[in-house]
Chain A
Amino acid sequence: MILSHNTLIVMLGCALLGVAAGAVGCFALLRGRALMADAMGHAALPGVVGAAIVSALMGWDPRALPPLLLGGTVAGGLGLWAVQGLSATRIIRQDTAIAVVLASFYALGVVGLSVVQVLPGVAQAGLSHFILGQAATMRAEDAWAAGALALFCVLAVLALFPRLTALCFDAEFAALQGLRVAWVDAALLGLILLVCVAGLPAVGLVLVVALLVLPAATARLLNRRLPGMFATACAVGGASGLLGAMISAGHEGWPTGAAVVLVGVAFFVSALLVRGR
């Protein structure tokens, strides 16, 4: 298989995304926040569509990734706020809130997509790829943008490693020791949001949650201690991203998100079998 320069860059971007998802996913899993990724990923869609509309109206290239990612981040953040708000009623449980938010924000995005169809200049086909991901049509500059965001997430996790560890294992003790638990919790949610948004072009919003959960869950099966789990999650995530992108680049009809998730499931099942012995 001869790999063009573009394909190579995209594959590397997906690998980096996988590493970031594994890294952030470790703490998301341990802190029980995995499903917030589902809400935030789906909630990002209207933001992406809105950003594309604004770009087109301002005369910029509506396919340029950074504004779209920014829009997605804002919308995902609003989704997070909506989940917290609904959960605060104490009548609606968090997973009910997550389900309501993910479906209704996604619906808003779908409405936006149907409106965008009649607007000249907005490449609607490009936007729907954010739902299931499509590495085959990603451009190198898209991979750079998403890859940079993913790299930022990895560095942030490394910088916050001791605090995140304390948060996940004994938040009360850590609070007594002076850890600002609320801040670290917020930082984790923020990182989850950023990884989801970075994953949109490659893996798509529906399946990005799997990228956050699968490598971490696989690593959990194979490691008892956090440093090992972290390293394994990053490795498995990176491998899933890379292999998934390769498979999807080779088969035009296969959404990249699906390919990455199936690779991730394969790793997970292998870990289950290995541990079973």
Chain B
Amino acid sequence: MTEFLQLDLPPLLAALLAGGVCGLLGSFLVLRREALLGDAITHAVLPGIVLGFAVSGARSGLPVLLGAGLAAMLAAWLIGQLRTRARMEGGAATGIVFTGFFALGLVLLEVTGARSVDLDVDCVLFGQMETLLWPEATGLSSLIDPVALAALPHGLWLLLGVAALAGLTVAALWRPLKLLCFDADYAAALGLPVRRLEAALNLLVAAAAVAAFEAVGSILVVALLVAPAAAMRLLTRRYLRQVLGGAALGSGVAVLGYVLAGPLPMALGGVTVNAAGSIGVLAGLMVAGAALVRRARLSRRCAPAPG
């Protein structure tokens, strides 16, 4: 039990929270046809993360979040500028901005000497879920011991904070967000602050990207953002099911992915694999499965009448 608390509980919690918050926000991205922007934001936050880390030395603290938020806003603004001023097509503009930011982030990683045990290229590419540990856990009693709890990895607290913020925001803005997803023009005509809602969503996605970054790395955050939402889109047309289902699927696939990557192989005496990768593969399979389920449903509906 102690070993479980020390080694497995933190990554499991990270998976649960990261998957949940990304799955939740991802539904809005997918409904608004902005999966691409989600991809872009997760890459574009890298220079912000690196600078925040260089300034504060902490991989999951306020400077990193601030840096990421600023980077995300700057990237979104630049994409807009390229589309309007340079008349560039959306995909190309997005591609240029997010790769440019990501490249800058990689160079900054090198130049600021941020390359260390705590933040290096491997962390960016593969995540470091396996490094989340809770050595202070001594038994079940640690779960209610404030001293031990305070020693949980900072990344978990950040995830918890961002998840709470995202959950509260979505709950508070339920109706406006729904309108924004389905008829932005009507929402604007009603007087809703569409631009500000979009900005709020983008910032939440950036925060989620930073919080989940430690668990699954920059590139695989995209999997958690887009795949659960895409799978739900294939399975339902109801908004509530889409949004809540996305969060649930995100948590589920992340937890299952972690278990299949580490604890299960170890119990069976096999070789462990990278947890973030395992989650990403599972997420993809989930979407494929949802597509097949949908095809089966459709063909049942359209099946010719007997006789």
| Given A92-B234, A107-B280, A107-B283, A100 and B227 contact (CB-CB distance below 8 Å) | yes
Partner of A253, one of B115, B125, B276: B115
| Given A132-B121, A265-B100, A107 and B92 contact (CB-CB distance below 8 Å) | no
Q: Complex formed: what's the CA distance from A100 to B91 in Å?
A: 16
Q: Complex formed: what's the CA distance from A221 to B261 in Å?
A: 48
Provide the residues of chain B in CB contact with A104, threshold 8 Å. Answer: 223, 227, 280-281, 283-285, 287
| Given A35-B95, A115-B273, A210-B96, A101 and B284 contact (CB-CB distance below 8 Å) | yes
Provide the residues of chain B in CB contact with A109, threshold 8 Å. Answer: 277
Query: How many A residues have CB within 8 A of the partner chain?
Result: 59
Least Cβ–Cβ distance between A225 and chain B, in angstroms: 17
- Which chain A residue shows the least CB distance to B30? A96
The stretch of B35-43, B149-157, B193-201 that contacts the partner chain? B35-43
Is the C-beta of B71 less than 8 angstroms from some C-beta in chain A?
no
- A132/B86 in contact, CB under 8 A: no
- Which chain B residue shows the least CB distance to A205? B219
- B274/A89 in contact, CB under 8 A: no
Is the C-beta of B103 less than 8 angstroms from some C-beta in chain A?
yes
Which residues 88-112 of A have a CB within 8 angstroms of B? Answer: 89, 91-93, 95-112
Provide the residues of chain A in CB contact with B100, threshold 8 Å. Answer: 210, 261-262, 265
The stretch of B53-61, B104-112, B131-139 that contacts the partner chain? B104-112
What are 28 A-B contacts defined by CB distance under 8 Å? A29-B92, A32-B91, A34-B91, A89-B234, A91-B233, A91-B234, A100-B284, A104-B287, A106-B220, A107-B220, A107-B277, A107-B280, A110-B220, A114-B273, A114-B274, A115-B273, A118-B271, A131-B125, A132-B106, A207-B102, A213-B95, A214-B96, A217-B88, A254-B106, A257-B106, A258-B106, A259-B103, A261-B103
Provide the residues of chain B in CB contact with A38, threshold 8 Å. Answer: 39, 95
Partner of B103, one of A101, A114, A115, A258: A258
Least Cβ–Cβ distance between A45 and chain B, in angstroms: 10
Other than the known A114-B274, A132-B121, what 7 A-B pairs have Cβ atoms closer than 8 Å?
A34-B91, A93-B35, A96-B30, A100-B35, A107-B276, A107-B278, A258-B104
- B99/A103 in contact, CB under 8 A: no
- B107/A254 in contact, CB under 8 A: yes
Is the C-beta of B258 less than 8 angstroms from some C-beta in chain A?
no
| Given A93-B33, A114-B277, A209-B95, A103 and B102 contact (CB-CB distance below 8 Å) | no
Provide the residues of chain B in CB contact with A112, threshold 8 Å. Answer: 277
Contact code string B1-40 (vs A, CB < 8 Å = 1, else 0): 0000000000000000000000000000010010110110
Provide the residues of chain B in CB contact with A113, threshold 8 Å. Answer: 126, 274, 277
- A107/B279 in contact, CB under 8 A: yes
Spell out B's residues near A (CB within 8 Å).
Answer: 30, 33, 35-36, 38-39, 86, 88-89, 91-92, 94-96, 99-100, 102-104, 106-107, 110, 115, 121, 125-126, 219-220, 222-223, 225-227, 230, 233-234, 261, 271-274, 276-281, 283-285, 287-288, 291, 294-295
Q: Complex formed: what's the CA distance from A108 to B276 in Å?
A: 10
Least Cβ–Cβ distance between A165 and chain B, in angstroms: 18
Provide the residues of chain A in CB contact with B272, threshold 8 Å. Answer: 114
| Given A111-B273, A111-B281, A210 and B39 contact (CB-CB distance below 8 Å) | no
- B274/A221 in contact, CB under 8 A: no
Least Cβ–Cβ distance between A76 and chain B, in angstroms: 15
| Given A104-B281, A253-B110, A95 and B35 contact (CB-CB distance below 8 Å) | yes
Most B C-beta atoms less than 10 A away, residue of A101, A107, A257, A261: A107
Least Cβ–Cβ distance between B236 and chain A, in angstroms: 10
- A262/B103 in contact, CB under 8 A: yes
Is the C-beta of A228 less than 8 angstroms from some C-beta in chain B?
no
Provide the residues of chain B in CB contact with A27, threshold 8 Å. Answer: none
- B95/A34 in contact, CB under 8 A: yes
Q: Complex formed: what's the CA distance from A268 to B222 in Å?
A: 27
Is the C-beta of A206 less than 8 angstroms from some C-beta in chain B?
yes
Q: Complex formed: what's the CA distance from A275 to B295 in Å?
A: 50
Partner of B291, one of A89, A209, A265: A89
- Which chain B residue shows the least CB distance to A208? B99
Most A C-beta atoms less than 10 A away, residue of B99, B107, B280: B99
| Given A107-B278, A108-B277, A110-B220, A206 and B102 contact (CB-CB distance below 8 Å) | yes
> Which 10 A-B residue pairs are closest in the complex by CB-CB distance?
A107-B280, A104-B284, A110-B277, A103-B223, A210-B99, A111-B277, A261-B103, A114-B274, A96-B35, A258-B103
- B294/A89 in contact, CB under 8 A: yes
Q: Complex formed: what's the CA distance from A105 to B220 in Å?
A: 10
Is the C-beta of A86 less than 8 angstroms from some C-beta in chain B?
yes
Is the C-beta of A255 less than 8 angstroms from some C-beta in chain B?
yes
Q: Complex formed: what's the CA distance from A42 to B219 in Å?
A: 10
Least Cβ–Cβ distance between A74 and chain B, in angstroms: 17
- B99/A108 in contact, CB under 8 A: no
Partner of B96, one of A91, A99, A101, A213: A213
Q: Complex formed: what's the CA distance from A11 to B16 in Å?
A: 46
- Which chain B residue shows the least CB distance to A104? B284
Provide the residues of chain A in CB contact with B283, threshold 8 Å. Answer: 100, 103-104, 107
- Which chain B residue shows the least CB distance to A114? B274
- Which chain A residue shows the least CB distance to B271? A118
- B220/A92 in contact, CB under 8 A: no
